[in-house]
Amino acid sequence: MKFFALLLSSVALIGAAPPPAQVPSEPYARLRQIVAPVSGAEMKKTVAKLVSFGTRHTLSSQTDPKRGIGAALNWTETRFKSFGLPTIRPCDTVTGRRVPNPTRVCDMVAIQAGTERPNDVVIIQGHIDSRVTDVMNFTSDAPGANDDGSGTAAVIEAARVLSKHKFPGTIVYAALSGEEQGLLGGKILADYAKAQGWNVVTVLNNDIIGNSCGADGLCDDTHVRVLSEGPRSQGQDELAAQTHSLGGENDAPSRNISRFLDGLADHLNIGLDVRQIWRTDRFGRGGDHIPFLELGFPAARLSVAVENYNWQHQDLRTENGVVYGDTIDHMDFNYLEKVAKLNFAALAAIASAPPPPEPKAEGAVSTDTTLTWNPVPGAVAYQVRWRRTDANQWQESRRFANCISVIIPKPGLAPGKAASGQVCQVVLPHARVDDWVFGVSSVSKDGFESPVASAVPGGAFKPYIAPKKP
Ligand SMILES: [Zn+2]
């Protein structure tokens, strides 16, 4: 590519010769190794156990040792503890449209603290509660094998497999309650994360990830859908005018999580590709990533390629020869294993990499684009990526070693503040800011790359803060 060659020839550096970026080329090999023990058979045992609680409806018994949501949460706690992980049980007393009487709603959460950046958090979650046709029916058997025993089993399997490793960042494993009654458990955990001051880099919400055929006979066991919001739900009023002028409709952090998962799947060789769905959730429906989005935390939902609507939210019955109900025999555990592997590789990669920076792009009425960002602790290099405004995935990229050496002086630009190491700056000659979307990711010493943060309004992996009015 012509302008890329020009870019290379124009690289100049301030100060001493830069050290080469110390980045082994095999992070994907390590991720494949980490997720190799992930077991569909193990998750089948977990789903069978979850089903054995009869119903896990949020309004079911919290004290019965064998049946109901309380028993299911307690059993999940025992599993987490058996992996040597500390647990918490964030709760809230809720009354609402689907909770007629004040009810204690609790999540069961295990925390694997990061060894270097414990406040940088990546969350995997599924909802442990279940339902039948009538969302208020808390007595009938509601196996919830796939919705969302599959996501809960993946959360427990993630804890089993990843707790054997150490990561610089923190991994949170969450079984959420109250999803079917109005995304209650998601809100409880999002509020808890905010109260703790966690820097939530990514939330992977797994809801219905364990079947591969629809009621119409359409089957697909080689794709998983990743659903991500476009314009971010937070700060919309303030962001709208900027976005209208500068773009960024496709560059909320959640969308870059979607791109990250898509790129990761291509390197794992597990027979699974990502179908990026560019909407917050399925048409007219919701999930537990939404309360996180509302607080400004980056989050995406993973769900099967083909849903089977006869096998979710249904009373167990057979009508005119059609079998209804969310039972374990409808599930595909080989498929669930693949979706779990993609999840866990993403958790391991994101917990291994520093969070992405917050780049800004400038270059109006200029032949060049200038990207500027503050250094991220722990990053030894940055990957600058860019794509055409109508492309769905990053097309061009260039890795730069740490900030002192990435600085490319543009004629006439005072390099002083950059030389102090306070600011990273890259000038991309002949790249018109009008025609591309730019982004930057952080790279760890062992080569793990964070998701990309786009240099657009609202692109930062942080809750949006409106600029102060003068
Ligand atoms: Zn669900």
- Calpha distance 178→322 (Å, rounded): 29
Which phi and psi (to 5°) does residue 56 adopt? -120, 30
What distance in angstroms lies between residue 297's CA and the mean position of ligand 1's atoms?
20
Task: Per residue of the chain (470 residues), give pLDDT as tens.
Answer: 333 333 333 333 333 344 444 434 599 999 999 999 999 999 999 999 999 999 999 999 999 999 999 999 999 999 999 999 999 999 999 999 999 999 999 999 999 999 999 999 999 999 999 999 999 999 999 999 999 999 999 999 999 999 999 999 999 999 999 999 999 999 999 999 999 999 999 999 999 999 999 999 999 999 999 999 998 988 777 888 889 889 999 999 999 999 999 999 999 999 999 999 999 999 999 999 999 999 999 999 999 999 999 999 999 999 999 999 999 999 999 999 999 999 999 999 999 999 999 999 999 999 999 999 988 999 999 999 999 999 999 999 999 885 654 444 444 545 443 444 467 888 999 999 999 999 999 999 999 999 999 999 999 999 988 877 77
What distance in angstroms lies between residue 207's CA and the mean position of ligand 1's atoms?
5
Answer yes or no: pTM beyond 0.85.
yes
What distance in angstroms lies between residue 289's CA and the mean position of ligand 1's atoms?
11
What distance in angstroms lies between residue 340's CA and the mean position of ligand 1's atoms?
16
What distance in angstroms lies between residue 130's CA and the mean position of ligand 1's atoms?
8
What distance in angstroms lies between residue 424's CA and the mean position of ligand 1's atoms?
43
What distance in angstroms lies between residue 208's CA and the mean position of ligand 1's atoms?
6
